[in-house]
Structure 1
Amino acid sequence: MMVTVIGLIRFGFSLIFGVMVSVLLAGIESTRKNMFIISFLCAFFLFIQFISWWTLGLDLTAKLYPLIIHLPMIVILSIYYKCPWHISAISVLTAYLCCQVPRWIGFLAGAALGSKIADHAFYVGAVFLAYFILEKYVVGSIRQLMVKSPKSCLLLGGVPLFYYIFDYVTTIYTDVLYNGAEWAVQFMPSTISVFYFVFVILYYIETQKQADFQRERDMLNTQFRQAQIELESLRKVHQNAAAYRHDMRHHLALLQGLASKGLTNEIKEYLQTAKSDMDSITPIRYCENETVNLIISSFASKAKQSEIILTVDVKLPDLLPFSDTELCSLLSNALENAIHACKNIEYKNKRYIKLRMYSKNNKLCIDIRNSYQTQPIFHQGLPVSKEQGHGYGTKSMAHIVEKHGGVYQFSFKDGLFVFQATV
């Protein structure tokens, strides 16, 4: 009689443990309302379990357990708590799997002490310990894998699912495992081996993706830092030009001295030198925005060195919805890609870039078109490069535009490569 009572107590603790672990894995918040409902569910399931045991017996109750406990629990998590069905199902299956360790501890204690009561008592104690360890150290990691993607969640649930089916088929609905059937003995080790290697392969693929992502992020950060350096360099050039204009009175004094001596040729030579110096350091003013002027002036010089015709039509206000660094990175990458595409064209008269920027309805509009020698390849809407270290510029441009809620497009039109963006 005592063994039966303790067995029923064990059965009840097993039920409560399974419900609580299922709730933990499903990510149900520990609010007062939720805890009340979960307590009610535990009491309700205990009542159903007791009625089933009283009327149908323990053996039949164990066989009906999937219908009277597990399936209703999945439905409640899915419908009432709005958990995705796969997360609900895998939470319940994993909770069932978690009962295996307390069961094993109880079995060892019972076998060592030669007592069924010891088996039940140690199982109940192990349930409390298992719940503490799961809540504190395990559930958080499992939750992250479950919500990461449906694929990772289903992969994670593979072992609990096969164990659930295996346990019911071989120990509850039949006794083939206890009879030593070879296929039953080999089934779970084989299943675990298969899932182990599948997990290793998928984990490796995911690690490679993370490494590629980290590499791209590092490259983008490098580009942002380079944009800051380039922008600072352009500002220094602008400051030098301002200082040169400030020193104009000294040049005029020197010219006046040469004129008083009638040294006309020396005056012409000095004026020519001064003009060249000022042209080399004075940015052309394209619009009211200082940063845009500096960037376009810099790339206008680069285009001139590569004998590329750069046409600029820019009408912008002083303030734009970008930081100077982002604006520098966006325009620098776009113009650098355009120059890179043009400079290898054999005929110089076919090397040209058309830049148009304007503001419309409080939106910044960018349109850059350039000729090209080799048509680039597109991947997921972005042009990609086979050259080592290239191809990150367009990703940086797309990231900046998307960050500010804008839209962009890379395309071909009338034999030109076109980049358009509205932010």
Structure 2
Amino acid sequence: MMDYIRSVLSFIFAISVMYMLLDCEIMRKRDRYLLGLYVAIMLVCDGLVLLNLGYAQFMKLYPLLVHLPVFLAFVFISKFKPIKVFFILLTLIAISTSFSLVGLIISSFFDSSREIVNIVCYILYLPTGFIIYKYIRPPFLYMMNNTDKGWFGFCIIPLSYSILIYSIAKYDLDNVIIRPILKDAVLLFILTLSAYFLILRFFKQTREQITLQNEQNLLMTQVAAAQIHFESLEESQEKTMLYRHDMRHHLNLINSYLADNNQEAAQKYITEVEETINCAVVEKYCRNYTVNLILSSYIARAKNEQITVETQINLPQKNVVSDMDLCVIFANALENAISACKGIYGTNDRIIKIVSKVNNNKLYIQITNSFDGTIIFVDDMPISTDTNHGFGTKSIAAIAHKYGGMYSFTAEDRIFKTSIIL
């Protein structure tokens, strides 16, 4: 009976940790129903095999009856590629079998009691789950979200371990207790544990490299945003100096019209001067001066490309997010939006909407734009096929991570949407 309980708890532990490591989230009701039906069918089939063939034969068929269906289920609900799901499954197999090995080592001092093996397994589930959540989950998720290379190599180690462990014991404790192969299994476990230590170290180094690359990309976009800021400021100052210089001539001409009692000409000239000045004034979209300059520059560019721009911006003068980071977000998002709209043939379909507001001390920014064609996504990130492009969305994601916020990029019904909460 205790073997049955241990097997059930091991299965629940493995499923829970896989769900946690793969950061799964089933949003649609239809997917939940399909998954529930799949699990019910799997449990019924496994139950029939267990009743007809017995526990020992069931454990021999465990990879086929349990591992394979679990892998297929998580491929269905996970956002990651199958090779990454396979690596996580193999990792959980290695962790689960290690519980039995630890129990066998301890039980070897007490006449190799099966009850001690089971009790040790029961004790290890909770603390191991906590350690995985606290220390292993973050680097695993970071690597799965940020790199697609090397996963076949990562799978070789746990796959070899799983095959060897299965060939040694067939998941049956009696094969290990009766036969003198515990030392071999322990040695194999130590080698695999060492390999995982190297994998985690590699994950850490890769994360540092990716972080450094993101910081460099972010710095480049900050420099570009600063350049746009200074260019807009310089242009505004030059226009102000020019109009101050010309104002004396304008006033002299108006005085001449009035001296000749030509009020109609004076009024017409004043109207022309007002229109010229209004065209030079930087339009105010928000109370943040620096961000407003960026918005004015990009919105003016969009209008020159015959793009309709709708704004609903409520951005305070001071915010927890630095002005430079806000400029990077708006500059990159609007640059991508303008580029996408320029590819639309009909000018009436070129639309950009900018929404920004603060709610419950959280800054919400959403920029939507129309587009033509197909956008390729990899791990929920849009991928650009153009050379030296594609850094904008990564910079936005890096800023969201910097402030512990959230971001999303979606494309549906020819509308691309960039959403950020900071």
Counterpart of 2:294?
325
Residues 112-127 of structure 1: pairs in structure 2 closer than 5 A: 114=111, 115-127=113-125
Q: Take 2:127 and 2:182, find their aligned partners in 1: how far apart are those partners? A: 33
Match of 1:317 in 2: none
Aligned counterparts of 1:14 and 1:124: Cα–Cα separation in 2: 9
Cross-structure match for 2:169: 171
The Cα shift of 1:287 comes to 12
Whole-Å Cα distance in 2 between the matches of residues 287 and 63 of structure 1? 84
CA contact (8 A) 1:401 1:407 kept: no
Please tell me the residue identity of whatever aligns with 1:401: E
The question of whether the paired residues in 2 share the 8 Å contact of 1:224 and 1:326 is answered with no
* Aligned counterpart, 1:391: none
Question: Which structure has more RCO (C-alpha within 8 Å, separation ≥ 6)?
Answer: 2
1:164 to partner: Cα distance: 1.4
Q: Could you tell me whether the CA contact under 8 Å between 1:227 and 1:329 is conserved in 2?
A: no
Q: Does 1:10 align with 2:6?
A: yes
CA distance in 1 between partners of 2:224 and 2:65 (Å): 60
Report the CA distance shift for 1:36/1:122 in structure 2 as closer, same or farther (over 3 A): farther
Counterpart of 2:214 in structure 1 is: 213
| 1:142 matched residue in structure 2 | 140
Query: Do 1:102 and 1:126's aligned partners in 2 also have CA atoms closer than 8 Å?
Result: yes
Q: What does the per-residue CA deviation read over 1:226-255, in whole Å, with 9 as the maximum and x for residues that have no partner?
A: 432343244333323333334559999xxx
The change in CA–CA distance for 1:46 and 1:325 in structure 2 (over 3 A counts) is: closer
- Residue 402 of structure 1 corresponds to 336
2:280 matched residue in structure 1: 290
State the number of aligned residues. 290
Q: Show the 5 A alignment for 1:71-150.
A: 71-79=68-76, 84-111=81-108, 114=111, 115-134=113-132, 138-139=136-137, 141-150=139-148
Give 1:74 shift: 1.9
* Residue 25 to residue 185, structure 1, CA distance change in 2 (3 Å): closer
Offset of residue 162 of structure 1: 2.6
Deviates more, 1:228-237 or 1:59-68: 228-237
* Deviation of 1:180 (Å): 5.8
Deviations 1:138-171 (A, max 9, x none): 4455344334444365455444323212211233
Describe how 1:181-330 pairs up with structure 2 within 5 A: 204=205, 207-247=208-248, 290=280, 324-325=293-294
The 1:150/1:250 distance shift into structure 2, 3 A limit, reads closer
Contact in 2 for aligned 1:16/1:42 (Cα 8 Å): no
Give SS of 1:169's match. Answer: helix
Please give the alpha-carbon distance, in whole angstroms, between the structure 1 residues aligned to 2:336 and 2:96: 48
Which residue number corresponds to residue 389 of structure 1?
Answer: none
* Separation of aligned partners in 2, 1:110 and 1:154: 36
Residues 91 and 110 from structure 1, CA distance in 2 versus in 1: closer, same or farther, beyond 3 angstroms? same
Are 2:4 and 1:24 equivalent residues in the alignment?
A: no
- Give CA deviations for 1:272-322 in whole Å, capped at 9, x if unaligned: xxxxxxxxxxxxxx9995389xxxxxxxxxxxxxxxxxxxxxxxxxxxxx9
- Within 1, Cα distance between the matches of 2:2 and 2:185? 30
d(CA) in 1 for partners of 2:107, 2:217:
57
Distance (Å, rounded) in 1 between the aligned partners of 2:41 and 2:35: 10
Secondary structure in 2 aligned to 1:121? helix
Aligned-partner residue type, residue 217 of structure 2: E
Q: Take 1:63 and 1:14, find their aligned partners in 2: how far apart are those partners?
A: 16
Tell me if structure 2 keeps the 8 A contact 1:18–1:95.
Answer: yes
**Residue 102 of structure 1 contacts residue 123 of structure 1 at CA under 8 Å; is this kept in 2?**
yes
Asked if the contact 2:298–2:335 (Cα under 8 Å) also holds between the matched residues in 1, the reply is no
Q: Which residue of 2 aligns with 1:334?
A: none
TM-score where L is the length of structure 1:
0.50
TM-score (norm 2): 0.50
| Conservation of the 8 A alpha-carbon contact between 1:159 and 1:192 | no
- Secondary structure of the structure 2 residue equivalent to 1:99: helix
Opposite residue 18 of structure 2, the aligned amino acid is S
Q: Distance in 2 between matches of 1:17 and 1:108?
A: 21
Deviations 1:8-62 (A, max 9, x none): 3222322332333334344443789788987887776666556545543443322
Q: Secondary structure at the match of 2:25?
A: coil
Distance 1:209 1:92 in 2: 25
Contact 2:80 2:144 in 1 (8 A): no
Which string of whole-angstrom CA distances, capped at 9 and with x for unpartnered residues, describes residues 295-351 of structure 1? xxxxxxxxxxxxxxxxxxxxxxxxxxx9643776999xxxxxxxxxxxxxxxxxxxx
Contact 2:140–2:203, Cα closer than 8 Å, also in 1? no
| Compared CA separation, residues 166 and 189, structure 1 to 2 (3 A) | same
Point out the structure with max Rg over C-alpha: 1
Task: Specify the alignment match of 2:358 in structure 1.
Answer: none
**Residue matched to 2:397:** none
CA gap 1:330/1:222 in 2 versus in 1, 3 angstroms? farther
- Structure 2: distance between partners of 1:216 and 1:32: 36
> How big is the shift at 1:223?
3.5
- Unaligned runs of at least 5 residues, structure 1: 253-285, 293-321, 332-356, 365-395, 411-423
